[in-house]
Amino acid sequence: MFEQIKQKVEAEGLLIRSAFHTTPDDSMPRLDNAEPAATLLLVGNAGSAMWEAFSRSTEYLDSYPDSLDRWSERLGHRLAQAFGGTAFFPFGGPPFHPFLSWAKCAEPSESSPLGLSLHPEYGLWHAYRFALGLPQRLDLSQQSEGSGVVEIQSESPVSAHPCSGCDDKPCLSACPVGAFTGSEYRHVECAQFLADNAGYECNQLGCGSRRACPVGQDYRYKPEHAQFHMNVFVSNHARKG
C-alpha cells in the first residue's frame, strides 16, 4: 500500500516527506471513523516539482482564492478515500494540527531565524501540503535510509543545525524593510513594501531573506512558483487590511 500511495503522490510532483507509526503521545486526531491512526504519512513538496501539476489544475486556473489549499484538499481527500484513511491539513483550522511536531518524528527539520522550517537538504524551499492518517500499521521497513520514513517511532538523530554554524545569518539582513529580526516577523511592513514596489525582485523571484539562506539553493522555487506565493501573500494582506 505504501508504494501505491507513493506513486500517486509523486504523479502530482509531491513526495512523502515523513512516515511513521503513531503512539499515544503524538497528538494524533482521530480518523473519520473515530478510530486512532496507526500510520501517519506527511505529504509535501520540495522545490518546484509540484508546480507543473498544480499550475495545470482546475483550482489554479479558476482564479478563486486559496487555490493551492483547495488543490491540496482535493488530492488529500482523494487519497484518503482510495486507501481508507483520513486527510489532515496544515490550514483551515481549528483544529490546528501540529505538522512541525509530526515532521520532527522522522525528518531532520528545525526552525530557522525566519520562523520557517529549515531542512538540511531542501533549505527553506519546501512545505507540507497534507497528512494522511491510516488505520493500518504499514510496513515501512523497506524504505531507504534518509527518506524521512521510519519503521519505529523514535528520537530523531541529533545533528548540527545548519543555522548554528552560520555566523553571518544573511537571511536577517537581506530584507529591504528589516521585516525579520530573529525573534519577530513584521509582516505588515513586508506586505506593504511589496504592494508599493511591484517590480522589486522579491515579487519576481521570491522573498529575498529566503533566497539569502545558503542551504538548499538547488531547490529554490522557479520564478513563476515564487511569484505565485508572493502574489497570494500580498493579496491576502490587502483583503485583511
- 180-201: per-residue pLDDT in tens? 999 999 999 999 999 999 999 9
Mean pLDDT for 230-241 is: 88
With 0-12 CB in 10 A as exposed, 13-18 as middle and 19+ as buried, what is 24? Answer: exposed
pLDDT at 14 over 70: yes
What pTM, to 2 d.p., does this model score?
0.89
Can you give the pLDDT at residue 127? 96
Cα→Cα distances 191→25, 65, 185, 187, 223, Å: 38, 17, 11, 6, 18
3-state secondary structure of 34: coil
List pLDDT tens digits, range 26-36. Answer: 668 899 999 98
Can you give the pLDDT at residue 105? 77
Higher pLDDT, 101 or 86: 86
Asked whether the CA dihedral 88, 132, 76, 17 is positive or negative, the reply is positive
Mean pLDDT for 47-54 is: 98
Average pLDDT across the chain, whole number: 90
Higher pLDDT, 161 or 61: 61
Residue 86: beta bridge partners?
Answer: 133
Q: Tell me if 226 sits within 8 A of 206, measured CB to CB.
A: yes
How many whole angstroms separate alpha carbon 37 and alpha carbon 44?
19
How many whole angstroms separate alpha carbon 8 and alpha carbon 78?
10
The candidate with the shortest Cα–Cα distance to 99, out of 133, 137, 130, is 130
How many whole angstroms separate alpha carbon 128 and alpha carbon 96?
14
Can you give the pLDDT at residue 159? 62
Domain boundaries of the chain, sorted by first residue: 2-160, 166-240
The candidate with the shortest Cα–Cα distance to 170, out of 123, 237, 107, is 123
**19 φψ region: left (φ > 0), alpha (ψ -120 to 50), beta (else):** beta
List pLDDT tens digits, range 131-166. Answer: 999 999 999 886 654 444 544 333 444 467 889 889
For helices 187-196 and 223-240, the axis angle rounded to 10 degrees is: 110
Q: And the C-alpha cell for 120?
A: 538540511
List pLDDT tens digits, range 93-123. Answer: 888 999 988 887 777 788 899 999 999 999 9
